[in-house]
Structure 1
Amino acid sequence: MKAAGRSVRTRLRDRVAASDPGLLRLMAGLRTVGAIALALLVLRLFGADVTHLVAGAMVAMVATFAIREKQRGAQAVTLALGLPVALASVTLSTLLSTRVVVGDAFFVVLIFCAVYGRRFGDRGTTLGLIGFQVYFVSLFVGAEPAQLPSLYGTVVLAFACSATVRFGVVATTSAGVLQRLRQAFRARLAQLIAAQIALLEAGPEDVDKVLESMREGTARLHETALMIQSRLEEGTPDQSTARLVQRRIADAEIAAERLGLLLLTARSAERADTLTLHLPGAVTPLVDHAPAQDEAMAKLRRDLRALQALVLRPPAEARGTALAHLRNRLLGYRDEENLPRAGAALQDVFRGIGEAARAVMGLRIALDGPQDESDDSPATARSREELDAEDAAIDAGEERAAEEEPTGLRRPTTRAAVQVAVGSSLAIVGGEFLSSQRWYWAVLTCWIVFLNTASTGEILVKGYRRVLGTVLGVVAGIVLAGLVGDHTWTAFALVLLFVFAMFYTAPLSYTLMSFFVTAMLGLLYTVLQTYSLSVLVLRVEETALGAACGIFAAALVLPVRTDRRTNELLGTVLERLVDVTEGAVDQLSGGPAADLLDTARELDQALGDLRAATQPLTHPITPMRARRDAAQYVVALLETCAYHARSLAATAELLPTHPSIAADPRLRGAVARTVRNIEAIAARVADEHAAVEVETGPSIASLLEQRADGMPRYGRITGRVLRHLERLDEAVVGLARPLDVPVAAPGR
């Protein structure tokens, strides 16, 4: 019974970890709600009135969510610096509230400075955010100069409550967050393997649905890998450990994606394309037969479930011989003599299981420390020796030189500050016409639509989502205000619930977050006894006005067109793709060792930035369907290229420590055409008039020189490298059509 209870708790923990990697959303919601609740409790004990209760709750929320640093020491310093900024902001807001022109002019200057402060990193961003939001809070509660002494006490108390909850009640450490992210990676890896098992058992009519699940699982696994990479420096004791974890995470991700591709090929009438695992709605490979029921397929089902158990089983439950038996059997498939009798495609799947088991064992060693070696089989011992040799070869690498940043109005933060200042000025003027009391809602919306956006298209989409969430929130606010009535503490309880929902859903849906914000504000108006239907309707009008002003400023004042932004990021992705591909092939050809881990990470980061920037083009409401499909196709092709480049880099990293992998100088010539094609596409993206074209010709494998002694031209490892190069070459040529790059016919 105890074992069964642990199993249920483990499965529940894995599901929670997979749905919220690192529990980052849960912790953000609990931390903010805890700070607000503590501030309300203390203020109530001091006999504060409703105005100070609302001000204290909102300042506590701002002081909590504004902090961006990951290290506790840096968070404490920023919170301490934020207090005098908040006090100065509430002072100026209160004193200037009766001087309309001067107050509005100062508000615009404050907005400019708050946005410009982003150039100074997380701390500058936080202090600017605190200054703006506290100024807004003072306007919201209608603070008067006579209330300043008590407001000072409220602000100080709110910051103290925020610090108490952050560093005491809901305390987190970088190492703890990284540990939870590791658990999330394991859980999502197990979910991807479960989807692969479903693919193995799916009939022809179910393949589309299963493939969609595999695409989602692959994307979620990659998302978690990137989150881990962003936390490694703060969450690990030294650079060597960080690089080891990064390497093992990358190995496991590549092995899982390759296993899915091999399974898809085994179920298909022909070799599957990697693009199928990245492009939503891609054509499903022909699957015209029901799953086989022979002995080899039975073994495959059994071993995939064993691989899933190997991933999920925590160290505390890994004692005994059962898990060792599973591990030994799976790692045995790395030896040809242990492969079951089956077709070539099915044998490739068993080889993929063996490589995935090796990656999982490396991951367990990196995350959980040394494992019990008493029950190792020869295949397991050999795999462990390989991993130990790789671990010893990992070093810190060299630091890259910092890239030169643009200056003046070309600097993104300066441009955004000017745009927000212009948009806010328009919002103030228009908001005053709508309401001399609630004009600041338009300014708030204009400010918010510029947060974390970098192009006109992103601002347009964010403004649309803001307005939609606000309209829905107004409807909810009308209903809740009628239900709550004069029950102040019931309203505050619902406010806490909505605040938690707001922060828990923020990374998932901006529309949902806007809904909860507006519903919460409706309750606060009820508490302040300023609620009316006209106030909530005015909220929608001011929100729409603010969004329109923000979009107008973004489109006409120093605009960054979505095309320009995506082209810049696309050029960066192509540049990083060349770096990874050339570095890996050069090392596989016998060249010196390169820092491929960091190069591959930069490729992933650049691709993530591009994926985010194309969201306005791929949004469901976009009327340009052909452009949307082209953007999705380009991103999917680039994800395919990145997968093959990462696989080449992972294989190259094995070269110094694996006697079975030998350098092949012929590979250097095989990749030359692919690199030229990538550079040609990058040149065309940078200059649409560039006279370049993409070359096609014989397959990559045929470019290798024939051997005169009658032996095979290349071994199995070189064959795998060639397959990656071939698929990379095909994907690069595929990029030419949607990007309008001419393709030269073979032989020209």
Structure 2
Amino acid sequence: MRDRVAAWDPGLIRLAAGLRTVVSIALTLAVLAALRAPVPLLVAGAIAAMVATFAITEKQPRGQALTLAFGLLVALASVTLGTLLSQYVVAGDLFFVALMFSAVYSRRFGDRGHGLGLIAFQTYFLSLFVHATPALLPKLYGVVAVAFGSAALARFVLLPQTPAGLLNRLRQAFRARLAQLIDTQIELLDAGPEDVEKVLEELRTGTARLHETALLIQGRLEDGTSDEAVARLLQRRVADAEVAAERLGLLLLTARSAERTDTLTLHLPGAQLPSGGELPVRDEAGAELRRDLKALRLLALRPAGEAVGIALAHVRNRLLGYREEENLPQAAPAVQDVFRGLGETARAALGLRLALDGPQDDSEDSPATARSREELEAEDAAIEVSEETEPGGTEPVGLRRPTTRAAVQIAVGSSLAILGGELLSSQRWYWAVLTCWIVFINTASTGEILVKGYRRLLGTVLGVIAGIGLAALVGHHTWTAFALVLLLVFAMFYSAPLSYTLMSFFVTAALGLLYTLLNTYTAAVLVLRIEETALGAACAVIAAAVVLPIRTDRRTNELLVKVLDRLAEVTRAAVDQLSGGSAGDLVEQARELDQALADLRAATQPLTHPITPMRARRNTARYVVALLETCAYHGRSLAATAELLPTHPSIAADPRLRGAGARIVRNIETIAARVADPGTDGEIETGPSIASMLEPGTPRTPRYGRVTDRVLRHLQRLDEAVSGLARPLGLRPETPPAKTR
């Protein structure tokens, strides 16, 4: 159960966010109830405690404490201005617009600026929600102070979270998700023709989740470890394990089919396996393969302290023995490749275990295991003396800066929302403004705002229906209503990263209960909530489409160029090192590629959304992203292999790779130039198949021990995937030269 929870919620980030918010609200309500505060102040305290908790996003406790302290001052000032200006309609509305502009603009100053901007806006909204009056201000100050004190107590005392502790939980989640992926690979062995597509989809999901966890670890390494060498060691070991597990899945898919499975099959939703073959799972080799996959799962999942004795050593020795050709069982070549993949994945799991758990007993090591340990120790030593490269780049200025543009857009959108909201309701117009504000947060294009507004509206409609039912059940039982509010708040924060629609549903249902507590609940009020939400979403879309618009095509093209640039950098550096060039921090470059690809995947959601009417465009976007994920996989694999070059005895530099690598890089740069400027002419350069270097008996066949088959196959697959990108992006292959006598 612990492993399942760790895999479902990596780092327990969602669980911690939900619990911390609920505890903050519960503490605030307990203190205010002891002071016999009236219900409006209880509601204000609950909202303030929630804001004081979710607005703090800094990673270090000291920074969180400073932001919380400054946030209290900002909240008191914002509540004061909201209360006093509510009596002056025009001045209040103008200040509200200016406040939202400043709150969004402050995001350029990092997590602290973002948090203080959220606190300023939400506490101003709080004063409007409870209809605060100047006479109520002294008590409201006390309520806000209690809420921030409760949030500090929950964050730093009752539910503390350190960067090191979070990183440790993320490492546990990586282990758990790796074990789940191996479970799916075991299912692949037994899946019949009618079940294989379902298992293949689960394999895609498991691979994507493992990659997601690796990116989360990457983002926490700097804050979660005090030693830079340890952080870089863990970064490499996680990357090795991820690449090895993904390759093992591809080898299993190939063993099931009559031909080599394209890497794209593992990344493109709906792609089918090549037909015509099936793994002979009932023979002796199939039984050994199933047994060894279960052993690999144990090796990857359990920490050293939970798996002691000679049994684990026996399992480890057997798996690492598959790295030697003489230990492979008698089976078809494709099945033998799977056993080789098992050996490499076991080596990656051993490296991960050493990085996470430290040195272990090696008295039971076989010669193959001892060699693997020596290789890992040599790599560790090489990591410690490597130099880190600093990323470059210039930040946009003026209205081109994303925060400035978003601030101008939200100022225009909120002005429209205020005008329209006043026409719908002079008392609850702020719901339209709140929706406009929320829809703009963490979005960067018109398409993203449109999708987020649609999800907000759908969640609100469903939440209104639930709120009507809950309000009828609760009636005027104050503490029952507050208990349900706490449950809904927990569900809101727990589901927020998974589904924005669900989050909107839970928050709207909670608001229905809060209206009941304030004695302002009617069905008409909740219907008005839907109308104001629709209006606010429409105002946000209009502002995004008219004022300094960033079209979805432009946004995705910018990110696509960034991904292609990162891919070219990784490929160039990896091939250069594999060809005998100088060493570099290839793992870090590969992670920059992965992060750029994650940003592109998020930006294409408006294009790939199920309700989009442009089916051909949706299919093209999915195909391009899947091809880029395939390219990224082969780029990561080349980087990981190049990192082994200084220490691995069976890999040596081969200058002949430089020509093939240069052609691939030129093609990537040609595609990037065409995406950045559609008027640019260019052709994809073709050449002899890299796979031809693997054919025996040809003059170009490399000697054993110089360049492994795996490197050449990764280059070949990368070449094919890059060429595949040309067609959907409007490029064509070069015209072959005419034959001469």
Calculate the TM-score normalised by the size of structure 2: 0.98
Counterpart in the other structure of 2:481: 491
> Superposition pairs for residues 394-433 of structure 1, below 5 Å?
394-395=383-384, 397-433=387-423
Matched, 1:68 2:57: yes
Matching residue's letter, 2:448:
E
Matching residue's letter, 1:471:
V
| 8 A contact 1:204–1:288 mirrored in 2 | no
In the TM superposition, residue 283 of structure 1 has moved relative to its aligned partner by: 2.4
Matching residue's letter, 1:316:
G
Encode CA deviations 1:575-634: one digit per residue, 9 max, x unaligned: 000100010010010001011121111100100000000000000110101100100000
SS in 1 for 2:580: coil
Counterpart in the other structure of 1:328: 317
In the TM superposition, residue 701 of structure 1 has moved relative to its aligned partner by: 3.5
Matched, 1:674 2:659: no
Counterpart in the other structure of 1:635: 625
Give the alignment partner of residue 696 of structure 1, picking from 649, 666, 686.
686
CA distance in 1, matches of 2:128, 2:516: 17
SS in 1 for 2:684: coil
The CA RMSD over aligned residues, in Å, is: 1.5
In the TM superposition, residue 572 of structure 1 has moved relative to its aligned partner by: 0.3
Matching residue's letter, 2:434:
L
> Superposition pairs for residues 8-87 of structure 1, below 5 Å?
12-87=1-76
> Superposition pairs for residues 287-436 of structure 1, below 5 Å?
287-289=276-278, 291-395=280-384, 397-436=387-426
| 8 A contact 2:389–2:585 mirrored in 1 | no
CA distance in 2, matches of 1:290, 1:341: 14
CA distance in 2, matches of 1:221, 1:128: 34
Give the alignment partner of residue 452 of structure 1, picking from 435, 442, 450.
442
Give the alignment partner of residue 464 of structure 2, picking from 474, 480, 483.
474
Encode CA deviations 1:46-90: one digit per residue, 9 max, x unaligned: 111111100011000000000010111110011011011000000
In the TM superposition, residue 554 of structure 1 has moved relative to its aligned partner by: 0.2
Counterpart in the other structure of 2:563: 573
Counterpart in the other structure of 1:8: none
| 8 A contact 1:666–1:704 mirrored in 2 | no
Matching residue's letter, 1:573:
V
| 8 A contact 1:670–1:703 mirrored in 2 | no
In the TM superposition, residue 708 of structure 1 has moved relative to its aligned partner by: 9.5
Counterpart in the other structure of 2:504: 514
In the TM superposition, residue 710 of structure 1 has moved relative to its aligned partner by: 9.8
CA distance in 1, matches of 2:526, 2:705: 71
Matching residue's letter, 1:606:
A
The change in CA–CA distance for 1:209 and 1:401 in structure 2 (over 3 A counts) is closer
CA distance in 2, matches of 1:148, 1:215: 55
The change in CA–CA distance for 1:30 and 1:648 in structure 2 (over 3 A counts) is same
Give the alignment partner of residue 212 of structure 2, picking from 210, 223, 247.
223
Encode CA deviations 1:298-340: one digit per residue, 9 max, x unaligned: 1111111110111122322211000100000000000111111
Counterpart in the other structure of 1:169: 158
The change in CA–CA distance for 1:478 and 1:709 in structure 2 (over 3 A counts) is closer
Unaligned runs of 5+ in 1: 1-11
SS in 1 for 2:733: coil
SS in 2 for 1:671: helix
Give the alignment partner of residue 579 of structure 2, picking from 570, 576, 589.
589
In the TM superposition, residue 717 of structure 1 has moved relative to its aligned partner by: 4.4
CA distance in 2, matches of 1:221, 1:363: 14
Counterpart in the other structure of 1:440: 430
Query: How many aligned positions are there?
Result: 737
SS in 2 for 1:400: coil
Encode CA deviations 1:122-177: one digit per residue, 9 max, x unaligned: 10000000000000011000000001111111111100000000001111111111
In the TM superposition, residue 713 of structure 1 has moved relative to its aligned partner by: 4.8
CA distance in 1, matches of 2:260, 2:698: 30
> Superposition pairs for residues 152-163 of structure 1, below 5 Å?
152-163=141-152
In the TM superposition, residue 659 of structure 1 has moved relative to its aligned partner by: 2.2
In the TM superposition, residue 714 of structure 1 has moved relative to its aligned partner by: 5.4
Matching residue's letter, 2:176:
A
Counterpart in the other structure of 2:733: 743
In the TM superposition, residue 211 of structure 1 has moved relative to its aligned partner by: 0.4
CA distance in 1, matches of 2:733, 2:504: 47
CA distance in 2, matches of 1:474, 1:705: 67
Indicate the percent of aligned positions where both proteins have the same amino acid.
Answer: 74
Matching residue's letter, 1:657:
T
Unaligned runs of 5+ in 2: none
Counterpart in the other structure of 2:236: 247
Deviation beyond 6 Å, 4+ runs, structure 1: 703-711
| 8 A contact 1:576–1:599 mirrored in 2 | yes
CA distance in 2, matches of 1:336, 1:249: 26
